[in-house]
Structure 1
């Protein structure tokens, strides 16, 4: 273990010399010395210290001034205030500003050792916690990148025929449970969809990854047989697998569809998910008349039903997860379907990318500085 780095800030040469001797007698390395508060701050800016012994009363900049300058700095070293026993009001103010402890100017060796050891141990534990947190953050960021790589990064390039596309996904945490999918099945058919896994964090992210794999595998099996996969069939197969050994009852709401990119004809299966909007020359409407099947992952062996609709030229299908409709303002209000509908209407017809950008901009105005409570996922599919 490296020797602790200690800084002594005191305008009294006698006190500095006495502390240097006391620290040497107790087995500590020679401290760095500063004659006033300004020099002490300069020393702390130049190198890292494990503890600072800070005199309360000094010319130019006293101990309170130093602590006020350090306040709020995440890497500020722990401070022990040096004071006379008669100045407890100043000591209390220093503690309020973040000082860890105080040391009477008698510099009693056992008390000095006890106070300094306690502060150094707390500093060691804080540094260890920070290192482990940084390692965890790095692992979670790696998991986030791995998860985001599972969904298409540029759905626009997957467009074919008369269909254009755009998608956006922003997990609320490093690893989220939302997903979107766009898979080219053949020259004239695309599989598309969005889904939302219950819960958050790594467990939801793992279920998300599993769901993506199940849907793609089932779709490719059908394509290998020369078939265009049915969204309902894909839901059934994914549900059977997700329902197996699921003691936590994690479930997945989803909307899957297959679109003919020349005619706009769609087959769509909804599993406990919010109905999307359709925006076009005739105005905005919510998709209606479709059976809502149970969410996937709860009970195996369930039959899933799908419906049909045909997009007209100039119409855009807007899919989203509840992280959009349930986004919260600082006052605790929900963004809601109505405001989402208003944002889509106000956007006009800028194309899929422009439409999603308009929705996200309106959401940002609504949520302002409120923390993101849930994953946000949007998918826009337009027939030209």
Structure 2
């Protein structure tokens, strides 16, 4: 393997040793070099100019190689700058100390040309590999950050549907850069709101891509049905369409749980289908909270041609329906204890009667407080449908 262009600093108080090392480096086609006769001069070089490798003698007057290494460690330079210690066989204990301080390797005196070449080459290859990995990580981080912003941007940011009668809000917090949760709120026909919330199995990029596919199918399926047939589909038909499409080309049987409903804004009537999703919560102004339990249907993407069921209910004036993914109840604290449904019900009861947006903010804040710094266990997505009149 040909080494990429590299700059090497040779540090030794003996001029003959420096000259020998420099000649050996030139034979390796490493001609961009510098030399220092003591540790203090070496530090000045390193703080002033970039290097890819330092060959550093252990025992030197004024400032030893160990002292230089300590200074480089304090400066935080050893992460990017490999240092190979040069030592006599009798200095092995000091070499061990240097390795513990962060030295990359060591070379014994007198220099063996083959060993010198091998260790210099290995140190430079590792250094350039680390730098390439860092560049790739930085690029990936930037791409994931952009993907996260794009994913958040897919969620509706304007939910002022019939604001005299309804207060509606949604929130999504991915556990990783990219999440597998989704929610959508859009007017299928004038006066009827399509409400959906879903949770793709897994987290990260694969779940995020599957989520984007499911959300696109959902919105396109509803609006196409209205355009072609002049009427709304049943929620069970929406679920069936998504299920059939998601079962196709799905070798890993990735699935998504989904609650999808059609809400008539004028009356508060909601017809919905629940495909393996968390039960919605009915929140009364008094603080009473109950789960809207319906017979279980499977998640989407698992069983082809499944006959999903429709259910009906009414959101009464003053009530709020809270839709969530299971990430809320699965929130864990540092002890591994989950939030679970009992605490979720208590948290929801505490925000009864609040405006939809602040209520969701308080719920996510309460979940974060319970987690007490533990990393997110799962994506958390919430939708509140609060009927004013």
Q: Decide: shared fold, TM above 0.5.
A: yes
Could you give the per-residue CA deviations for residues 79-136 of structure 1, whole angstroms, max 9, x where no partner exists?
1012222121111122123212112243443332222111112222223333333344
Q: Of the candidates 247, 250, 257, which is equivalent to residue 253 of structure 1?
A: 257
| SS of equivalent residue, structure 2 residue 274 | strand
Deviation, structure 1 residue 41:
4.5
Question: Counterpart of 1:53?
Answer: 55
Structure 1 residues 3 and 301, CA gap change in structure 2 (3 angstroms): closer
Deviation, structure 1 residue 15:
4.5
Question: Counterpart of 1:354?
Answer: 358
Distance in 1 between residues matched to 2:336 and 2:272, nearest whole Å: 33
Distance in 2 between residues matched to 1:367 and 1:39, nearest whole Å: 51
Distance in 2 between residues matched to 1:60 and 1:348, nearest whole Å: 72
Structure 1 residues 319 and 47, CA gap change in structure 2 (3 angstroms): farther
Question: Counterpart of 1:76?
Answer: 80
Distance in 2 between residues matched to 1:36 and 1:331, nearest whole Å: 53
* 1:323-334 alignment, distance < 5 Å: 323-334=327-338
Between stretches 170-179 and 231-240, larger displacement belongs to 170-179
Distance in 1 between residues matched to 2:383 and 2:46, nearest whole Å: 51
Which segments of structure 1 move beyond 6 Å, counting only runs of 4 or more?
none
Deviation, structure 1 residue 39:
5.2
* 1:138-217 alignment, distance < 5 Å: 138-152=142-156, 154-157=157-160, 160-217=163-220
Question: Counterpart of 1:219?
Answer: 222
Question: Counterpart of 1:238?
Answer: 242
| SS of equivalent residue, structure 2 residue 303 | coil
Distance in 2 between residues matched to 1:350 and 1:103, nearest whole Å: 70
Conserved? CA contact 1:161–1:188, under 8 Å = no
Between stretches 55-64 and 161-170, larger displacement belongs to 55-64
Question: Counterpart of 1:27?
Answer: 29
Structure 1 residues 236 and 50, CA gap change in structure 2 (3 angstroms): same
Between stretches 257-266 and 247-256, larger displacement belongs to 257-266
Question: Counterpart of 1:229?
Answer: 233
Question: Counterpart of 1:123?
Answer: 127
Structure 1 residues 48 and 281, CA gap change in structure 2 (3 angstroms): same
Q: TM-score, normalised by structure 2?
A: 0.88
Deviation, structure 1 residue 160:
4.3
Conserved? CA contact 2:287–2:352, under 8 Å = no
Gaps of 5+ in 2: none
Question: 2:350 matched to 1:342?
Answer: no
* 1:275-286 alignment, distance < 5 Å: 275-286=279-290
Task: Count matched residues.
Answer: 383
Conserved? CA contact 2:80–2:127, under 8 Å = no
Conserved? CA contact 1:243–1:297, under 8 Å = yes
